[in-house]
A and B are shown apart, each in its own frame.
Chain A
Amino acid sequence: MLVVVDQPLANLVALTLNHGKYVTHIAENITRARIELETWRPHLLLVDLDADDADELDLIGQRVVNRRIPTIVFSVRGDLKTKLAAFDRGADDIITVPFVPEELVARTLALMRRSYGDGIAFIPVINVAGLEVDLLNQQVKVGRLRPELTAMEQALLYLLASNPGQTLGREEILDALWGADYVAGSNVVDRHVRNLRLKLKDDWRNPRFIGTVPGKGYRFLGSR
């Protein structure tokens, strides 16, 4: 189960968790999250923490019917105050945004094993929008091709594919994958999109996967 304020991030997390056999519910606010905790009783809680919102901190380590729910918190890079507050409340782990899919997979699996024993299987290969992605070997299967992706290209692919049909701006992508304090004015997003297209054999004039939205950003075509 998830509580994530910002939708592209929630979708990215939900897609990435397909590397384990999770059922995910997304709650867009705290009231909704509390209802889900009571009625659905998830095994794992992931909360995106906004430093100023004490209510979100209250969600950490909640008990539902005498069982403490393991909690992973998302926090931005460099935000020591939020991290200490989260650990102080009993958060089990923290994932620093920006993150790459591999990091999320490893930390959730480790926490599930710590909390429940060998419960959750690790699924290295998942289907992402018709592409078979192998997280262990960082490969994608496109027709007969099996290009290798760098960790950042893979993260970019997951981010775009988890938000199909939705235009993501360059700034939004930069914040999600490189972090807000990355040197501004850089064309790093465009370069990564170009490389990813090359590897997927995606023609920018007639794309199958990643479309350009002029003046806005990029959009993943097709469905999840």
Chain B
Amino acid sequence: MAAPSGGTREGAKPVQIESPRALIVMNETLGNLVVLTLQHGRYDTRRTTSPDDCRALVGEWAPHLALIDLDLFEPFIDIVGRGLTHGHTPIMAFTRRRDTALKLSAYERGADDILEVPFTLDEIVARPFALMRRAHGMTVTIVPKIRLDGLEVDLIEQRVSVAGRVLHLTPIQQTLLYLLAANAGKALSREDLLATIWGGEFEIESNVVDRHIRELRVKLNDEWRAPRYIETVPGAGYRFKSQASVSTAAE
């Protein structure tokens, strides 16, 4: 299984010429979610937030696609755009702002698609699929099912199987599960979860995160007192238990 957090370089499979390269310019929490979701297209991913690294990667690693958080790392659009030795690298930009002028100017500066945070996972699969096709004539193989620590997730059918038992998740529950799993072992605060999944602009009942966690746990058959997947970290938020910590706990 591919490790969701930061493990894309080490332990990677032998070089697969077929696998498209995606460069991700985002902070860790959001970047991990995107990296995990891109496994549905067998992408080889690198994440960076350093301009020098980015320049080097664009020059030497020659990504097929760049995914950039426009709100935090806007200048990287130009860094990717200038590395023209390998032709045009399509850029998918992410923003939390609902600002038409900003979007139109980003399109003009070379963004090929602009996606709003919060997004649902299908967007991170479908839009890169379209960009890879448009820019490189490459049809990305879609892998509907991936495994997350004993859970088998089918993104096309929107269902998760636990030991042969099938549960149906809503798009928001699925995003919540991926976000937690992508940052396994790390506690994510309610604010983090709210900002990434619901966005700042929605008027939200304050306990919406807790309610969705509760529903997700019920579906996963996960007991909050002795959780197998999602644990509560008092005062800090929620944390996805990685496989390692689960087996340790069982000893």
Task: Write the residues of chain A forming the contact surface with B, with a CB cutoff of 8 angstroms.
Answer: 77-81, 83-84, 87, 91, 93-94, 96, 100, 102-103, 105-106, 109-110, 113, 122, 124, 135-136, 138, 150-152, 179, 181, 183, 186, 188, 191-192
Contacts and interface: CB of A to CB of B under 8 A. Distances in A.
B107 interface: yes
A113 B201 CA distance: 29
Given A78-B158, A78-B174, A83 B202 contact: no
B133 interface: yes
Nearest to A191: B203
B100 A105 contact: yes
A96 B156 CA distance: 16
Interface in B112-129: 113-114, 116, 120-123, 125-127, 129
A79 B123 CA distance: 9
A94 B126 contact: yes
Interface of B: 98-101, 103-104, 107, 113-114, 116, 120-123, 125-127, 129-130, 133, 142, 155-156, 158, 170-172, 174, 201-203, 205, 208, 211-212
B107 A113 contact: yes
Contact of B100 (A96, A136, A183): A136
Contacts of A100: 98
A191 B113 CA distance: 33
**5 A-B pairs with least C-beta separation:** A78-B171, A83-B126, A80-B122, A181-B170, A87-B130
A84 B205 contact: no
A80 B156 contact: yes
B129 A87 contact: yes
Contacts of B155: 80
Contact of B156 (A77, A81, A91, A151): A81
A106 B122 contact: no
Nearest to B201: A151
Contacts of B98: 100, 102-103, 138, 151
Contact of A152 (B104, B201, B212): B201
Nearest to B107: A110
B38 to A, nearest CB: 13
A151 B95 CA distance: 14
A135 B98 CA distance: 10
Contacts of A103: 98, 116
Given A102-B100, A183-B208, A150 B126 contact: no
Contacts of B123: 83, 96
B201 A122 contact: no
Contact of B125 (A80, A105, A186): A80
Nearest to A87: B130
A78 B107 contact: no
Nearest to A192: B203
B107 to A, nearest CB: 4
Contacts of A105: 100
A113 B105 CA distance: 12
Given A87-B126, A135-B100, A78 B203 contact: no
Identify which of B100, B107, B114 gathers the most chain A CB atoms within 10 Å of its CB. Answer: B100
Given A78-B170, A87-B126, A94-B130, 9 more contacts: A80-B121, A80-B158, A84-B142, A96-B120, A103-B116, A105-B100, A110-B114, A124-B100, A181-B171
30 contacts: A78-B121, A78-B122, A78-B158, A78-B171, A78-B174, A80-B121, A80-B125, A80-B126, A83-B123, A83-B125, A84-B129, A87-B126, A91-B130, A93-B113, A94-B130, A96-B120, A102-B100, A105-B100, A110-B114, A122-B100, A136-B99, A136-B101, A138-B98, A150-B203, A183-B205, A183-B208, A183-B211, A183-B212, A191-B203, A192-B203
Contact of A181 (B103, B107, B172, B201): B172
Contacts of B126: 80, 83-84, 87, 94
Nearest to A188: B203
Nearest to B139: A88
Contacts of A192: 203
Identify which of A96, A105, A124, A150 gathers the most chain B CB atoms within 10 Å of its CB. Answer: A96
Contacts of B99: 102, 136
A106 B111 CA distance: 12
